[in-house]
Amino acid sequence: MGTLSLVRHGQASFGSADYDRLSETGARQCEALGRYWAERGRRFDSVITGTLKRHAQSLEAIAAALPGLPPARADAALNEYDAEAIVRAVAGGRPVVTTPEGDRREHFRLLREGLAKWMRGEIEVPGLADWARFSGGVAAWLETLRTSGAAEVLVVSSGGPIATAIAHVLGAPPSAVVALNLQLRNSALSEVTFSPSRHWLVSYNTLPHLDHPERSGWVTFS
């Protein structure tokens, strides 16, 4: 029996010229997770990330407080879809909300609408593979993991791949992926156990490392 610990990256830089980098809060979130595990003697024998900068920076912050992690392997199957491209595709020429001062609710409303249409094949998003290929890549990665021989696996990825993996484990429809995805918090931990024959969901979207009054302001979604 193996355990897969899925971690969404720390807070990135929403509204900046380079979203794909951690904010100071994002680094603190991930370092707190590493410290939480270190205090409990947690060990991993395999570490996998996506290839995005925010994935690598999140792992770096975790590792700063959790020494002894094995070398990480990067897998593009764990990369996020292009959220901004989806929003632009569904906005139909309307201004896209990208600034910190903008209306985030409108941004995420458009993203929710765009994700549903992308999954149903109702829109084509330039530069982005279709939903079947995206979700199929995540599912294939999960199935390969079952027979990998690893016992304790740490994965640092993004909301889309993690939500897709959870939905695959639960046998849930694509519509559930949208709901799971948009509820995932930064540096949140979801856990799946696996055997050579199947996966089981243990926990989803937890923040045990931020469960302290002094860290209440560290809970973020972007």
Domain ranges of the chain: 2-78+131-218, 82-127
Contact 142, 63 (CB under 8 A): no
> For all residues of the chain together, what is the average pLDDT?
93
Q: What is the largest CA-CA distance in the chain?
A: 52
Q: What is the tens place of the pLDDT at every residue in 74-88? A: 999 999 999 989 999
Judged by DSSP in three states, 196 sits in coil
Q: Residue 38 in contact with residue 62, Cβ under 8 Å?
A: no
- What is the pLDDT averaged over residues 195-211? 96
In Å, how far are 56, 58, 186, 214 from 22, measured between CA atoms?
10, 7, 10, 21
Backbone angles phi, psi at 118, to 5 degrees: -65, -45
Sign of the dihedral through C-alpha 34, 36, 20, 159:
positive
Residue 159 pLDDT > 70: yes
pLDDT > 60? residue 99: no
Nearest residue to 169 (alpha-carbon basis) of 188, 142, 147:
142
pLDDT of residue 134: 97
Band of pLDDT at residue 94, cut at 50, 70 and 90: low
d(CA 43, CA 76): 24
* pTM of the shown model: 0.94
Whether domain 2-78+131-218 has CATH 2.40.50.140: the reply is: no
Residues 184, 35 contacting (CB under 8 angstroms): no
Range 157-176 average pLDDT: 97
- Please name the residue that has the structure tokens 């799971």: 180
At 20, the amino acid letter reads D
